[in-house]
Amino acid sequence: MMFGILKRAATLSLVATLFACSEKFESVDYDPGYKDEHQYETTYDKVPVLLAMNNPYYTMISRGAGAITPENGWVKQELTYYVYSFLTNNYIYDGPIDYTQKCTPDAEENPDQPIQCLMDDPETGRGVAFKLLDNEMLDQIDKNTEYFYSQSNQYCKYNFFAYAIDDAKVLSEVTRNVDNVHFDIEIDGTQDVITAVGKPIEEQIAQISPTSDKLLYSNIINGELVFSTATGHRGMFPKLDGKHCLSLFQFNIVGEDALSDKIYIEEIYVMAHKQWRFTVAADDHTKLGLSMPEEKSEKLEKMVLQEMTEERNPASVKPLAKGVYHVKKDERIDNLGMGLLLPPRDSYDLYVRCRYPSLNSEGKEVNRYYTARYNLAHRVVDDNGVIETTPFEAGSQYDVTMHIYGYQPIQMSIGGLAWSEPIEIILDEDDITNYE
């Protein structure tokens, strides 16, 4: 017997990223009668920093979540977001920016030297820890330290950054450069890695009056005055726009013939980079996310598809169950395991390890194994029928469907033995040789 196993290459379909963009907010009261002009000597009441978060749901926040939906309560309970805020330039302040400066929440302010770091955990340097509430507001975990906008530099602008790494392994201390903050992490295909930047939304901008808030209005339209004490007084708090740094791959299997259910999927994995540099705050927002340090650019390691038990909690992550996943003809299993979260790239080598029963030389049934390797790429056909390959994108979900074939009986034929039509050869007198 010969065996035809996993004959067809994986097929891909692109699914759009899903973001839940609810507009639920709480606001801070302010006095609309305040004369809206820049005065260094003016001191507002202390304005607390309030934050909200777009749920970047496609989503797998918390270890083992795979493509979990937000209805799973432990998703929000387990995931921690870390927040930084740094001074940036606008028309009021056009001086040096320094992300190496530490946060000192209780320090006395200097009107001529704006605070460089408005929010950070002074002890860890990894940002202030928050949990996400049902109304999308971020709730600070440690209530012992409070963070407020500047009282003496109420028009100075601050950037807000957030990130989440699930339970990814942290490989290094936080490095703070003049224009960015980063550290190294290791991922294994189960963690969702997220970055976020604060920005105002239309509902908040609409609160600013072009007449009574003339200075604010004229500058916020071109992005010059977000976020500050002045915007905080008007309930304009940052809504952090979350973005996934990884691509999500979901796996499906389909049975193609009567014996496909004899083929068991034992393991699915890709060879990928696990160690990355993660930039979590940067004056140039395009630098946020994962990058590959030169010293780590060559090493590829297995990222194995895993699954969870029915409890669907972070402690239940395990490799795919052996001897379970197989399909009969025309049957299908969707979303096999948790899915794999992988850094975007042009293509991957995908490995599918299979088990199938066979008879040995003594006629006894034994298990045999076979590993199929595929080039996993996103191929699309343009209007002219030309096949193009496009890179995988962060925040996009890709469905990988594998068509399973079972045993195939040996069928042989042999060709080339039939006689052809006679080719005529004419012999004439010149070809005759007489022998005695």
Q: What is the pLDDT of residues 104-162, one digit of tens each?
A: 887 788 888 899 999 999 889 999 999 988 788 889 999 888 898 888 888 888 999 99
Domain of 397 in residue numbering reads as 2-13+246-274+295-408
Facing residues of 403 across strands? Answer: 254
Asked if the structure places residue 251 within a domain, the reply is yes
Q: Which of 315, 159, 128 is nearest to 231 (CA)?
A: 159
> If you search the block for the tokens 């209780």, which residue do you land on?
106
Asked if the structure places residue 305 within a domain, the reply is yes
Digit-coded pLDDT (tens) for 214-253: 777 777 777 777 888 888 888 788 888 888 899 888 888 8
The amino acid occupying position 383 is D
The amino acid occupying position 171 is L
Which 8-state DSSP code applies to residue 101?
A: P
Asked if the structure places residue 364 within a domain, the reply is yes
Number of domains in the chain: 1
Residue 12: which residues within 8 A CB-CB, separation 6 or more? 376, 377, 378, 379, 398, 399, 400, 401
> How many Cβ atoms from other residues are within 10 Å of residue 231's Cβ?
29
- Per DSSP, which regions of 80-141 are E strands? 81-88, 117-119, 128-132, 138-140
3-class DSSP assignment, residue 92: coil
Facing residues of 291 across strands? Answer: 277
Asked if the structure places residue 376 within a domain, the reply is yes
What is the pTM for the complete model shown?
0.78
> If you search the block for the tokens 């600013």, which residue do you land on?
208
Asked if the structure places residue 332 within a domain, the reply is yes
- Cβ neighbourhood burial of 4 (10 Å; 0-12, 13-18, 19+): middle
Backbone conformation region of residue 154, classed left if phi is above 0, alpha if psi is from -120 to 50, else beta: alpha
**pLDDT of the residue at 278:** 98
Helices (runs of H) and strands (runs of E) counted in the chain: 4, 26
Residue 287: what are its φ and ψ, rounded to 5°?
-85, -5
Which residue ranges of the chain lie beneath pLDDT 70?
A: 1-46, 50-77, 309-315, 407-436
Asked if the structure places residue 152 within a domain, the reply is no
- Per-residue tokens: 127: 């940002």
Asked if the structure places residue 220 within a domain, the reply is no
**pLDDT of the residue at 359:** 83
